Amino acid sequence: MAMNTIRLQLRFLLPLVVVLIAAAYLALPLMDRLTLRWFARDLDLRGNLVATALSDAVADALNESKGDRLQALIDRSAQDERLLAIGVCSLEGQLLRHSRSYPSDLDCVHARTAALQTAPQLRLAGGAVHLSMHPVLADSEPVAQMVLLHDLSFVERRSQDTQRYLIVFIVALGGTIALITVVVAQLSWRGWVNGARALLRGEGLIRPPGASARELAPVAADLRARLRDLDDAYRRTLGPLTEWDPERLRALLRSQLRGDQVIVVSNREPYIHGRGATGIEVQRPASGLITAVEPVMRACSGTWIAHGSGSADAEVVDRDDRVRVPPGSEEYTLRRLWLTPAEEKGYYYGFANEGLWPLCHVAHVRPVFREADWKHYRAVNQRFADAVVREARSDDPVVLVQDYHFALLPAMIRARLPRATIITFWHIPWPNPESFGICPWRREILQGMLGSTILGFHTRYHCKNFIETVDRHLEARIEHENSTISYHGARTLVESYPISIEWPDEATRASWAPVEVCRQRVLERLNLPADHRLAVGVDRFDYTKGILERLQAVELLLEKHPRWIGRFGFVQIAAPSRSELPEYSAFQARIHEVAQRINQRFGHALYKPVHLLARHHGHDALNELYRAADVCLVTSLHDGMNLVCKEFVAARDDEQGVLILSRFAGAAAEMREALIVNPYHLDETADALHQALTMPVAEQRERMASLRSTVREFNVYRWAGRMLADAGRWRLRERIDARVLEHSGHEAP
Ligand code: GDG
């Protein structure tokens, strides 16, 4: 470890030493040149001074014919410590006189040439010599030239001294820097090592590290994110700690509800028997409610009461109008109730679907309320209440009332079976008090619903709307703290239970064809090339599902990104629904028109961008389509929950495919990793489509894996289990209350 540290520090120090030596090598000659130039300038000045001082005397001496005086003057002046030699040249360039030390080979011509250089120097045996030439003036007229040679060897000596000092200084500086570096590096290395060790021990990972390790905060953040990813991936492979499945639901029924009978009431039946070409055929209707409640019923093996709507339904029931379903495995009883066409028209199409459905959905379709429909609605609710009483084997069954077709049923059952546990689940949104206020029978509907023990909605927001509506229209006591409403001596718990689907088990998944095969089959069936990109939508053909907006977004995509023309197709499954109602038939005709228009605009004989399949599909065909798709589009304008998005996610065990989900679907609260859009904003949906079609595989995997873990954990058994567990606790509390009351009655005087 210590060796490593030293090696690391050497790796830093060696370049530093090399840099310092290089700097010294560069700096020293530079300094030499500089000092030389300074001294040359000094010597020039000094030479001028000497020349000026000697000029008159030399001029006079030149006039004497003997010239001894000139020689003596020169010799005397040359005794100056720095002045090496003096020479006197005639104006013609002849050396007239010179001192003794004057170099023999330096004639006047050479001396003049040398003096013209910027730093005039000569090298003699004794060292470097500075040369300068000055005029000798007589009456301001030059009469000769004086050559002065100054000693420069002292400059070299000084330069050598300076070099020595500089090298010592650089070595000392390098040493000091190295020492400081080593000490600081040691200290920070130790700090980093300790900090990193602390991080690895987990300190500062739960919370951000303290001040001492602040510089490690980015590392800690990265490590935290990585750990979270690993943890998520690990948890996903494990699944939820205690997964909700049919067995856990059955155990809950046995323990908390003492195996009491479970009765489900819904308008739509889970299996429809119809006369087909080959005899009696069984169909599973396109309904989110059926998708969710059926697996729960199979786990509870109770009785399901529903409207018998199939053309061969009556042929397969016994004399009590019962038939065991699912066909083949017969896990629970389906009790069929027959409605006259008038009842169906008034109760189902009229009050429920022309009145309550648009009332509860903000989809800009006006609700229609008719007195006659209301009467049928009340009467049919009463008929279902009678059927519940007849099917009940005890006075306290658990009754699960499903949806807006039966708002009056809870109070009607409560009147006949006061000890029943009635759980009502409202599958669609609940509007705000103002919107609900337009219903002429608002009070009756609220009173009917408050016959429930538990009233469930998909989201807290719907619960809040309901409680505020009761507050506005009834004189009830509301306890916000525990979300209960007391009305006429009975209490109702208003709670949110987000619905879901049954998570496919191993055996189911093993029966699926591989994704590539599904893709190939779907593309072949639609006559599309193998590299075609595919988006799908699967819905009941309903105006709340945003099918029109979806088509317009597809059109906009092709307009904004023409590269998708001929390479992209959108398949819309639209299962027939309520087509008898004018609002629905007009809407459905409009969708056909728009699909055709888009195909005319962007398609040709061999290419259709929109494939509108407005017919009922088998469950397997839907699953195949989900597995074949690159993108699933759920663009509801308003939706209680929406199960299609959850089915798509459950079908993608390859963790590929992108979900585009409306923010107005209840599911948007749970499925955050989808591309969430406002379906009214066509550009936003078109852009999301483009983003989905170009999303990298790794991002798809990350989003899909997370969505799958959510849907797997929050499955339909959890939805039912939480409601039944709440019901179990409620019943226990009521039994204790009753016993206390009975006891205090005995004690009473
Ligand atoms: C209400 C609320 C809430 C569709 N076409 C076919 C077919 N389907 C199935 C789908 C899915 C179901 O129908 C539709 O479920 P949704 O959740 O979209 O909706 P709604 O029917 O409007 O249900 C809704 C739900 O209740 C549950 O509480 O989520 O918000 O409006 O399962 O796969 N099924 C078959 N053939 C088709 O052609 N077999």
275 and 137 belong to one structural domain: no
Residues 42-71: tens digit of each pLDDT: 888 888 888 888 888 888 888 886 668 888
Domain stop point among 104, 128, 157: 157
SS3 149: strand
299 Cβ partners below 8 Å, 6+ apart?
A: 246, 247, 249, 250, 717, 720
- The reply to whether ligand 1 has any atom less than 6 angstroms from the CB of 647 is yes
- The reply to whether ligand 1 has any atom less than 6 angstroms from the CB of 622 is yes
Rounded to 10 deg, the angle between the 2-63 and 153-201 helix axes is 160
Query: For ligand 1, what atom is nearest to the CA of residue 425?
Result: 28
What is the 253 CA–ligand 1 centroid distance (Å)?
27
What is the 81 CA–ligand 1 centroid distance (Å)?
116
287 Cβ partners below 8 Å, 6+ apart?
A: 268, 540
| Whether the predicted pLDDT of 107 surpasses 90 | no
By the 8 A CB rule, do 571 and 536 touch? yes
- pLDDT for the residue 414: 97
The model's pTM is 0.71
- pLDDT for the residue 660: 98
- pLDDT for the residue 156: 74
Query: For ligand 1, what atom is nearest to the CA of residue 634?
Result: 18
54 and 152 belong to one structural domain: yes
Q: What sign does the CA torsion over 486, 489, 492, 493 have?
A: positive
By the 8 A CB rule, do 674 and 681 touch? no
667 and 606 belong to one structural domain: yes
680 and 585 belong to one structural domain: yes
- The reply to whether ligand 1 has any atom less than 6 angstroms from the CB of 284 is yes
Q: How confident is the model at residue 749 (pLDDT cuts 50, 70, 90)?
A: very low
489 and 528 belong to one structural domain: no
Residue 734 lies in a domain: no
| Whether the predicted pLDDT of 152 surpasses 60 | yes
Residue 185 lies in a domain: no
Residues 506-548: tens digit of each pLDDT: 999 999 999 999 999 999 999 999 999 999 999 999 999 999 9
Domain with 642, as residue range(s), is 512-714
Q: What is the CATH number of the domain that holds 542?
A: 3.40.50.2000
Domain stop point among 496, 529, 563: 496
What is the 285 CA–ligand 1 centroid distance (Å)?
9
What is the 286 CA–ligand 1 centroid distance (Å)?
6
**Residue tagged 């006559």 (tokens):** 527
d(Cα 516, Cα 514) in Å, to the nearest integer?
6
* DSSP per-residue codes, 353-383: IIIIHHHHS-SS------HHHHHHHHHHHHH
Q: What percent of the chain lies above the pLDDT cut of 90?
A: 59
- The reply to whether ligand 1 has any atom less than 6 angstroms from the CB of 427 is yes
272 and 376 belong to one structural domain: yes
Residue 103 lies in a domain: yes
Per-residue tokens: 204: 């500062």
Q: How many domains is the chain built from?
A: 3
SS3 694: coil
136 and 281 belong to one structural domain: no
- The reply to whether ligand 1 has any atom less than 6 angstroms from the CB of 615 is no
Q: Residue 234 gets which letter from DSSP? A: H
121 and 48 belong to one structural domain: yes
67 and 96 belong to one structural domain: yes
Domain stop point among 115, 139, 157: 157
- Of the CA atoms within 13 Å of residue 363, those in its CB half-sphere come to 31
**Residue tagged 């009607």 (tokens):** 412
Beta bridge partners of 146: 88, 134
Q: With residue 499 as reference, give the H or E element that holds it.
A: none
- The reply to whether ligand 1 has any atom less than 6 angstroms from the CB of 644 is yes
Core vs surface per residue 195-208: b (16+ CB within 10 A) or e? beebbeeeebbeee
Residues 177-198: tens digit of each pLDDT: 878 878 887 887 787 777 777 7
Question: Residue 402's closest CA among 416, 386, 381, 420?
Answer: 381
Kindly state the average pLDDT of the residues 216-224: 75
Residues 393-436: tens digit of each pLDDT: 999 899 999 999 999 999 999 999 999 999 999 999 999 999 99
Task: Write the residue with the smallest CA distance to atom 17 of ligand 1.
Answer: 642
Mutate to test the pocket of ligand 1, among 641, 648, 664 (most ligand atoms within 8 A of CB): 641
What is the amino acid identity at position 519?
R
328 and 475 belong to one structural domain: yes
Kindly state the average pLDDT of the residues 235-250: 73
Number of neighbouring beta carbons within 10 Å of residue 736: 10
368 and 455 belong to one structural domain: yes
d(Cα 52, Cα 159) in Å, to the nearest integer?
30
- pLDDT for the residue 629: 98
Core vs surface per residue 345-356: b (16+ CB within 10 A) or e? bbbbbbbbbbbb
Residue 362 lies in a domain: yes
699 and 590 belong to one structural domain: yes
Q: What rounded mean pLDDT belongs to the chain? A: 89
d(Cα 723, Cα 495) in Å, to the nearest integer?
9
| Distance, CA of 674 to chain centre | 10
What is the 647 CA–ligand 1 centroid distance (Å)?
10
Kindly state the average pLDDT of the residues 328-346: 96
| Whether the predicted pLDDT of 604 surpasses 70 | yes
